[in-house]
Chain A
Amino acid sequence: MTSVFKALAFAGAVAVSTALTPAAFAAKTDITVGAQLEPPNLDPTSGAAGAIDTVTYSNIFEGLTRFGPDGSINPGLAESWSVSNDGKVYTFNLRKGVKFHDGSDMDAEDVKFSLERIGADDSTNAQKALYADIESVDVVDPHTVKITLSKPNGNMLFNLAWGDAVIMSPETAANNATNPVGTGAFVFKDWVQGDRVEMERNADYWGEPAKLEKVTFKFIADPNAAFAAVMAGDVDTFMPFPAPENLPQFDADPRFRVIAGSTEGETILSTNNKMPPLDNPKVRQAIAHAIDRQAIIDGAMFGYGTPIGTHFAPHHPSYVDLKGQSNFDPDKAKALLAEAGHPDGFKTTLKLPPPSYARRGGEIIASQLRDVGIETEISNLEWAQWLEQVFKGKDYGLTIVSHTEPLDIGIYARPEYYFQYDNADFQKIMTDLNNTTDPGERDKLLKAAQKKIADDYVNGYLFQLANTGVVNAKLQGIWENAPTQAADMTAVYWED
């Protein structure tokens, strides 16, 4: 390094530090958000990684509809819409005056392009199946789009709110992975891979402009480092915080506020329904009665989490409390095992992915199962191994995983899905649900679906993952709940 450069760098450093000092007294207009997982890329239509949505959803990219903080479906780039009586034709009225960050106008052609791109043969959209019913997308005029479905799909407005269906421009779509160009309230600025993503307020935003001028997402993988970063004030919020055991300490500190909202993550003891003896519903019922949910929530999650009795989010209006069907009753579990022909229990595998809910929860479940005579052989897997062995290879007896996609009970209608539940009655409920747009009827079907999988004890239903995190006490507008994996910064501001 030349001495000239050193001198310049030194001068620069001095200039920066003097420039920053007075600013500390004015109200802050920037924020550093800590996150454990770095997005692999910044195109929400290109992969399943939730971290992509965390950074980009509604900050950079927007869809026709969008999730509100409470999980409701609100107008996004579509101002309003109408649905034909047969439920097959959706007509969206787009907002006027919406511009992409590169200055070009967003219109019906862009919507057509974005939605058709999902269904293309070479599409690598992770949620392609959600949009498989879209038969055609037609441009009526620059601000009106008509979507025709091959069959009615009551979830379509909901599906269109996902990050996987955001609207992008054909000119910039190919580069969105590294240089995302959307319509949102923040404009992408820089991405230092392995470290941070920076974005700035979009001055030409169509809606209410963001209050913050600058947002930096900082990626800190190690829980100890995350703790230190929060304590040292390097990050202003960390959600979700990776180590629940640290939350009481933040709670006791007046500088911070601890958030414990809801998520869409049903944490379940997934069971291989085709592997003997787990293919026997009596055995699965025995497992369900052997499990003490509260002990798992207390032991693995330090009390954060809501017990569930079926694969459904408790904060959803159609939720049915079915916990009673699988209450903690070891004696009943033993009796059921004997009835099923395994009076001395049996042995199976328990394969655990990396998150702490699985690793810690797994140890507790293993001990609870041992108490009724079921021996489990625990193996800890990395995510990639888990996907290969458990998810794709179906080579497992039991595993623990949180299904974080919203309203995903439909996975039980897929017989090839990794827990291999193949039930014609349930599949019919799901088909009916898709064909129904009437809210009352849908409510009934959703309840029937929850009941069916609880009756069949398909999986062990443990708890709804809590959205736990820590926030600077002066920060307002952070989403408490996580209806989708987003860190929507559009309404966040600093209190004076």
Chain B
Amino acid sequence: MLPFVIKRLVSLTLSLVAASLVIFFVIEVVPGDPASFMLGLNASPETVAALRDSLGLNASAPIRYWQWITGLLQGEFGISYTYKVPVRDLILDRIWISMPLAVYALILSTVIAFPVGVLAASRRNSPTDVSIMGVTQLGIAVPNFWFGMLLVLLFAVTLGWFSAGGFPGWEAGFFAGMKALTLPAVALALPQASILARVMRSSLLDTLGEDFVRTARAKGLTRRQALWRHALRNALIPVLTIIGLQFSFLLAGAIIIENVFFLPGLGRLVFQGITQRDLIVVKSVIFLLVFAVILVTFIVDITYAIADPRLRRARS
């Protein structure tokens, strides 16, 4: 087991180094100078030069890369060019919106997808199954930002049950915070739930065709008993894999939803950072998201190896 973990750790580190290089150099070649952007149309070239100097933009690329990486290792992300506050503080503030939103959406999508998927599989080819398949197909096809706008029009503009967006802050209370995250979480969860329900259904149908289920049925279990007692647990493995993937997606992929609901989360921070050329913020947030995704993959790998000794042997 240990050699396997070490091997995975080395690969994790190499992935991070490669990612940091790619992020740094992609951002290097992005056209647009942060200093000119901040000073606008009337500034003289000397003023721009003075600002570039004070932002530390005049050092050579390898030096700036080194400064960035050594800073990251010490937990120092630098100072935002535009906001003039430490990037770490910006990220810490906003992760408390993006993370709960992702978890909320994940829970919603799982809670919706499980029963729906099981129902569809247990009544295969019935009208229920056909309509569930139709609705989930639609759920995958509808873009989440558009669905979000519809939710706003109905629940905020017409019914007035929710705010159209924004976030009051957790200091306004747990429920006020959750309420503000509800519409965005529903908008994010719908496509995810649709995917998950379909995966659940097909995985369950696959398992129901396996020999051990037939054996269970031969022993006298009803179809439903066989499903609940034997098939379901085995069908969960691919579903859990999808859930793992979805979490990274929900965390990193909320950029558009955060704009639709004007939530000050990580996605909006990246979006604003790009348009304002606050490149130090962009690099650090993207690196953090990459780190989260790589870490989740690492944990999933290790969990598989624990669950299934064959994997461990095959890889080490």
List chain A positions with a Cβ less than 8 A from chain B: 1, 5-6, 9-10, 12-13, 16, 38, 40-41, 47-49, 121-130, 177-178, 192-196, 218-222, 224-225, 228-229, 231-234, 382-385, 387-389, 391-392, 403, 405, 408, 411
Measured CA separation A228–B176 after assembly (Å): 19
Query: Which of chain A's residues have a CB closer than 8 A to the CB of B160?
Result: 232-233
* In the complex, B107 has a CB within 8 A of chain A: no
Q: When the two chains form the complex, which single residue of B47, B83, B278 contacts A128, counting CB atoms closer than 8 Å?
A: B47
Query: Which of chain A's residues have a CB closer than 8 A to the CB of B277?
Result: 384
Query: Which of chain A's residues have a CB closer than 8 A to the CB of B38?
Result: 40, 47-49, 126
A382 touches B50 (CB 8 A): no
Query: Which of chain B's residues have a CB closer than 8 A to the CB of A6?
Result: 174
Task: Give the shortest distance, in Å, between B273 (CB) and chain A (any CB).
Answer: 10
Query: Which of chain A's residues have a CB closer than 8 A to the CB of B275?
Result: 382-384
Measured CA separation A48–B85 after assembly (Å): 19
Task: Give the shortest distance, in Å, between B248 (CB) and chain A (any CB).
Answer: 22
B41 touches A222 (CB 8 A): no
A385 touches B32 (CB 8 A): yes
B83 touches A126 (CB 8 A): no
Measured CA separation A384–B156 after assembly (Å): 35
Q: When the two chains form the complex, which single residue of B36, B156, B175, B261 contacts A9, counting CB atoms closer than 8 Å?
A: B175
A388 touches B32 (CB 8 A): yes
Measured CA separation A327–B257 after assembly (Å): 46
Given A194-B268, A232-B160, A126 contacting B36 (CB threshold 8 A)? no
Given A38-B272, A224-B149, A13 contacting B259 (CB threshold 8 A)? no
A194 touches B85 (CB 8 A): no
Q: List 9 A-B contacts (CB under 8 A).
A: A47-B82, A48-B38, A123-B47, A193-B85, A193-B90, A220-B262, A384-B37, A384-B276, A388-B32
Query: Which of chain A's residues have a CB closer than 8 A to the CB of B172?
Result: 12-13, 16
Q: A387-B32, A387-B37 are in contact. List 15 more A-B contacts (CB 8 A).
A: A40-B82, A40-B83, A48-B41, A122-B50, A126-B39, A128-B43, A129-B44, A130-B42, A196-B166, A221-B272, A222-B262, A225-B152, A228-B157, A384-B32, A384-B275
| Cβ-closest chain A residue relative to B277 | A384
Query: Which of chain A's residues have a CB closer than 8 A to the CB of B41?
Result: 48, 391, 403, 405, 411
A-B contact count (CB 8 A): 176
B36 touches A218 (CB 8 A): no
B32 touches A225 (CB 8 A): no
Given A13-B174, A47-B38, A385-B31, A195 contacting B264 (CB threshold 8 A)? yes
Measured CA separation A126–B276 after assembly (Å): 16
B31 touches A225 (CB 8 A): no
Query: Which of chain A's residues have a CB closer than 8 A to the CB of B260?
Result: 222, 224-225
A232 touches B47 (CB 8 A): no
Measured CA separation A476–B13 after assembly (Å): 60
Task: Give the shortest distance, in Å, between A404 (CB) and chain B (any CB).
Answer: 9
* In the complex, B94 has a CB within 8 A of chain A: yes
B276 touches A122 (CB 8 A): no
B40 touches A228 (CB 8 A): no
* B180-220 CB contacts (< 8 Å) to partner A: none
* In the complex, B165 has a CB within 8 A of chain A: yes
B166 touches A234 (CB 8 A): yes
* Interface-central residue, B42, B170, B173, by most chain A CB under 10 Å: B42
Given A13-B176, A194-B268, A41 contacting B262 (CB threshold 8 A)? no
Query: Which of chain A's residues have a CB closer than 8 A to the CB of B47?
Result: 123-126, 128
Query: Which of chain B's residues have a CB closer than 8 A to the CB of A16?
Result: 172-173, 176
Query: Which of chain B's residues have a CB closer than 8 A to the CB of A403?
Result: 41
Given A229-B165, A403-B41, A10 contacting B85 (CB threshold 8 A)? no
Measured CA separation A127–B262 after assembly (Å): 32
A228 touches B272 (CB 8 A): no
* In the complex, B28 has a CB within 8 A of chain A: no
* Interchain residue pairs A-B with the least CB separation, the first 3: A48-B40, A384-B32, A13-B173
Query: Which of chain B's residues have a CB closer than 8 A to the CB of A122?
Result: 50, 53-54
* In the complex, B153 has a CB within 8 A of chain A: yes
Measured CA separation A126–B37 after assembly (Å): 11
* Interface-central residue, A193, A219, A389, A405, by most chain B CB under 10 Å: A193
Measured CA separation A225–B145 after assembly (Å): 11
Given A48-B38, A123-B47, A388-B32, A225 contacting B82 (CB threshold 8 A)? no
B82 touches A221 (CB 8 A): no
| Cβ-closest chain B residue relative to A122 | B50
A388 touches B42 (CB 8 A): no
Task: Give the shortest distance, in Å, between A173 (CB) and chain B (any CB).
Answer: 13
Query: Which of chain B's residues have a CB closer than 8 A to the CB of A41?
Result: 82-84
| Cβ-closest chain B residue relative to A418 | B41
A232 touches B39 (CB 8 A): no
* In the complex, B51 has a CB within 8 A of chain A: yes
| Cβ-closest chain A residue relative to B156 | A232
Measured CA separation A221–B278 after assembly (Å): 17
* In the complex, B169 has a CB within 8 A of chain A: yes
A123 touches B173 (CB 8 A): no
Measured CA separation A13–B172 after assembly (Å): 7
| Cβ-closest chain A residue relative to B258 | A194
Q: When the two chains form the complex, which single residue of A125, A128, A192, A384 contacts B33, counting CB atoms closer than 8 Å?
A: A384
A382 touches B32 (CB 8 A): yes
Query: Which of chain B's residues have a CB closer than 8 A to the CB of A47?
Result: 38-40, 82
Task: Give the shortest distance, in Å, between A395 (CB) and chain B (any CB).
Answer: 11
Query: Which of chain A's residues have a CB closer than 8 A to the CB of B85?
Result: 178, 193
Query: Which of chain A's residues have a CB closer than 8 A to the CB of B54?
Result: 122, 124
Q: When the two chains form the complex, which single residue of A49, A129, A192, A224 contacts B93, counting CB atoms closer than 8 Å?
A: A192
B42 touches A234 (CB 8 A): no
Measured CA separation A177–B172 after assembly (Å): 26
Task: Give the shortest distance, in Å, between A168 (CB) and chain B (any CB).
Answer: 15
Task: Give the shortest distance, in Å, between B253 (CB) and chain A (any CB).
Answer: 17
| Cβ-closest chain B residue relative to A404 | B41
Measured CA separation A190–B32 after assembly (Å): 31
Task: Give the shortest distance, in Å, between A137 (CB) and chain B (any CB).
Answer: 20
